[in-house]
Structure 1
Amino acid sequence: MKPLKFALAALAMTVALPAFAQDTITVKDAYARFMPGSMAGAAFMVIENAGDADDQLIDAKSDIAAKVELHTHKADASGMMQMIHVPEGFAIPAHGEHSLQRGGDHVMFMGLKEKPENGQSFSLTLTFEKAGDVTVEVPVDMTK
């Protein structure tokens, strides 16, 4: 009987996992910009974590680009700002938020397969260490 109880408990945990993201992670004020004459762009947003545990944004995916990475800006030794890949991602504190914004942390799209126009939107899937995948529709806003 114990193996059955274990299997049922494991199934219940698996079924409950998707609700975690919906209950704890909220993405607000998302928008993207695409550089004229370039096959690159970036998305910005505020990620809120209403949960009791810290989480980590560890990946991002979208069909619009060959490569999607988490990036930040950092000054080099001469003071020049560089955009760098952040493979470990960004911490989203419990009962807190983390802003992805121009000149700071952001989602970078490289090798665009399609370039949505101003006012259009596209799907972006954010992967969190604990919350799992959260898919958001990101509008393109070239005025921000």
Structure 2
Amino acid sequence: MNRRTSLAAVIALTAGLALAGCSSDGKPELKVSGGFMPQPVGDMAAGFLTVHNSGGGADKLTTVTSDISDDITIHESKNQTMQEVKAFDVPADGELDLERGGNHIMFMKLKQQPKQGEKVTVELRFEESDPIRVELPVKEPTYNPKKH
């Protein structure tokens, strides 16, 4: 009889842990890596980074803010033209790549000219997740990291 009680307790505990795991599966879990800003050569700049989502729920990048500019937008590049978008999808168990020649952050009417070696702080805001503050190192104007 003791053995049955122990087995029932193990089954109940396992089921409880499985249910607890399922409840968090629908939430995005975001991290940012690979961020940088090429040193601007005029009054605008671009920002690039990757948002990784290890969670089971999707999210959307909706806005970006920074002290460096009051006019920051997100752009997609299609057919060699760029256009502003309202949001970028961050898929569940996937990533959003903002990279040269593709989707990116645009900083217009810069308040200051960041120089190579400095860092620019930005705040990424999402539809579901809490904001994420990221420091973008300022790289040489032609910097273009290679993807592995």
* TM-score normalised over the length of structure 2: 0.74
Distance 1:35 1:103 in 2: 16
In the alignment, structure 1 residue 67 sits paired with structure 2 residue 71: yes
Output the CA distance in 1 between the equivalents of 2:105 and 2:82.
11
What's the Cα RMSD here? 1.4
Q: Percent of aligned positions with the same letter in both sequences?
A: 33
The Cα offsets for residues 79-138 of structure 1, whole Å up to 9 and x where unpaired, read as: xx2221111x11111111111001110011000001110111011000011102111111
Deviation per residue, 1:18-74 (Å, 9 max, x gap):
xx88xx1100000001431x1001110111011110000011001101200011112
Instruction: Decide which of 106, 119, 144 is 1:121's aligned counterpart.
Output: 119
Residue of structure 1 aligned with 2:31, choices 26, 39, 45: 26
1:126, 1:66 → 2: CA distance? Answer: 14
Distance 1:138 1:102 in 2: 15
Residue 89 of structure 2 corresponds to: 91
| Structure 1 position 45 matched with structure 2 position 52 | no
SS in 1 for 2:31: strand
Report the AA paired with residue 71 of structure 1. Answer: H
1:53 is matched by which residue type in structure 2? G
Which residue does 1:138 correspond to in 2?
A: 136
8 Å contact kept, 1:59–1:70: yes
CA distance in 2: counterparts of 1:65 and 1:34, whole angstroms: 15
Letter in 2 for 1:83: M
Counterpart secondary structure, 1:65: coil
Structure 2: stretches of 5+ with no match in the other structure: 1-26
Q: Which structure 1 segments of 5+ residues have no match?
A: 1-19, 76-80
8 Å Cα contact 1:34-1:40 kept in structure 2: no
Larger-Rg structure: 2
Paired residue total = 116
Is the CA contact 1:45–1:101 (under 8 Å) kept in the aligned structure 2? yes
Specify which structure has the higher proportion of strand: 1
